[in-house]
Amino acid sequence: MDHKTFFIGGEWVQPSGSNRIDVINATTEEVLGSVPEAEPADVDRAVAAARSAFESGWGQSAPAERADVLDRVADALEKRIDELSLVISQQNGMPHELSRAFEGHYVVSVFRYYAQQARAMQTEELRASPLGSSTEVRRSPIGVVAGIVPWNYPVLLAVSKIAPAMAAGCTLVIKPSPGTVLDSFIFAEAVQEARVPAGVINWVPGGRELGAYIVSHPGVDKVSFTGSTAAGRAIGQACGALLRPVSLELGGKSAAIILDDADLDEVVNGLLHVAIPNNGQTCAASTRILAPASRYDEIVSAVAAWATSLKVGDPLDPGTDVGPLASKEHRDRVEGYIAAGRESGARIVAGGARPSQFNRGWFVEPTVFADVDNSSTIAQAEIFGPVLAIIKYDTEDDAVTIANDSEFGLGGSVWSTDHERALSVARRVQTGTIGINGYALDFNAPFGGVKASGLGREFGPEALAGYQQLKSIYHAG
């Protein structure tokens, strides 16, 4: 998987420089492939290609025409689900079943969904004016979008920008994360096969400096970022100075609130997908487990037994629940948090070390801390690994207070056999999304965070609207 060129302006072009990015297999620690690293001159070329595509047709095209293109991209991606999901699991350790589902079938559905949204789109509306006449409200595409994405769900998080932006009539320059850049080349092949007009999507592989260059590029009209809160603040500041529209999908530290009437089997069966999906490398994961004092010991035992029973292994093996973390640096960071948890006085009831059966791969045991103080580091920081913190609460009000005592507000879940009761708790949690007896990322609904988890929303018609600008034309008489 060695690439020599970039996909810019609808063709494979030579890089400006000679630096390369090596991508390492998270399980074997061997080099999986390499790609050229883009330089500012390549970004200039990609932005110019996106601008030209926007102005020479895509930005003025009929939404129904764009819908047909989106459907063709869905078809071309569908053929590549095996190839994409394999390389993603090798790059970042995601269990293969999950990468097939989320980085494969789900992204195909997202393209088809935005094709439908484009077909149903109303771009002109004549409103009766309270002043006596009428006003025409027009929605037009915002222009060239810079999409900057992280490594944890590399295709899905790019598609959450590409599909609605394309449906709106925007063109894009995407910067993938260096650790998971190989999938973007497969994606570009799908785009080429789908006969997406040249320049509508362009990819520039590189790190954070290149990202910063793109964010402030004069040819960019909107920045759509997914990644850490620290980078989001820097990008928000840069866009603020430029008064450039920006959406920020950032970190999380969400709570699973287990009410005292919850079905514990249901909780435990849901935890893999709700609390540590993708080895815990998931922004909206419910990694704080809030347990009622009346059932505390029972819940700690059940969660500890579940974590200990998980199958840790090669993400490509069927039946693997937890694969390796995405990089050595990331494993070091996660282990640093486990050490902080030990120092805080919390009690380890499962895991806490590297699994002994592997002599390579960045594995960490599924780890559960009990007796966690919500003010401690392991309850406040986003660990982004298979590490859970169980926190005891007394009343329902306490549970809501603890859930809300976080700088983040992205996901969450409430577990109860009484749906109305769970719903009333869910409504009080300060978060952008929350599930009852589970958590499902519904692409027909807005997804995003409050507080330090971000600004703006992805998915749903709301995401598409975020790539449009509004103009009101007053008809005086």
Active site residues: 249, 283
List 208, 295, 421, 428, residue binding ligand NAD (CB under 6 A)? 208
List 235, 383, 389, 391, residue binding ligand NAD (CB under 6 A)? 235
Measured from each CB, the residue nearest to ligand NAD is: 211
Question: Considering only 74-82, 142-150, 300-308, 423-431, which stretch makes contact with ligand NAD by CB under 6 A?
Answer: 142-150
List 7, 102, 151, 415, residue binding ligand NAD (CB under 6 A)? 151
Enclosing H/E stretch for 171 = strand 171-175
Rounded Cα distance, 226 and 207, in Å: 14
Write down the least CB distance from residue 91 to ligand NAD, Å. Answer: 12
* Size, binding site for ligand NAD by CB under 6 A: 29
Rounded Cα distance, 284 and 281, in Å: 9
Write down the least CB distance from residue 17 to ligand NAD, Å. Answer: 17
The 10 Å Cβ neighbour count of residue 314 is 20
110 counts as binding ligand NAD under rule CB under 6 A: no
40 counts as binding ligand NAD under rule CB under 6 A: no
Instruction: Name the burial class of residue 448, with classes exposed (0-12), middle (13-18) and buried (19+) by CB atoms within 10 angstroms of its CB.
Output: buried
Rounded Cα distance, 190 and 111, in Å: 12
Task: Considering the complex, state which of residue 245 and residue 454 has its C-beta at the smaller distance from ligand NAD.
Answer: 454
Rounded Cα distance, 17 and 40, in Å: 10
251 counts as binding ligand NAD under rule CB under 6 A: yes
Rounded Cα distance, 253 and 153, in Å: 17
Contacts (Cβ under 8 Å, ≥6 apart) of 62: none
Question: Considering only 93-101, 150-158, 268-276, 417-425, which stretch makes contact with ligand NAD by CB under 6 A?
Answer: 150-158
The 10 Å Cβ neighbour count of residue 227 is 23
408 counts as binding ligand NAD under rule CB under 6 A: no
152 counts as binding ligand NAD under rule CB under 6 A: yes
């895991």: which residue's tokens?
Answer: 351
First vs last Cα of the chain: how many Å apart? 64
Write down the least CB distance from residue 270 to ligand NAD, Å. Answer: 20
Angle, helix 63-78 to helix 106-119, in steps of 10 degrees: 170
- In angstroms and rounded to an integer, the radius of gyration of the C-alpha atoms of the chain is 23
β-bridge partners, 435: 413
What is the pattern of x (binds ligand NAD, CB under 6 A) and - over residues 155-194?
Answer: --x-----------------x-x-----------------
List 368, 410, 422, 429, residue binding ligand NAD (CB under 6 A)? 410
């692409």: which residue's tokens?
Answer: 443
Task: Considering the complex, state which of residue 152 and residue 377 has its C-beta at the smaller distance from ligand NAD.
Answer: 152
Q: 262: alpha, beta or left, given left = phi > 0 and alpha = psi -120 to 50?
A: beta
Write down the least CB distance from residue 262 to ligand NAD, Å. Answer: 26
Q: Which of residues 329-388 bind ligand NAD (CB under 6 A)?
A: 382, 384
Kindly list the residues in this chain that would bind ligand NAD in the complex (CB under 6 A). 148-152, 157, 175, 177, 207-208, 211-212, 215, 226-228, 231, 234-235, 249-252, 283, 382, 384, 410, 449, 454
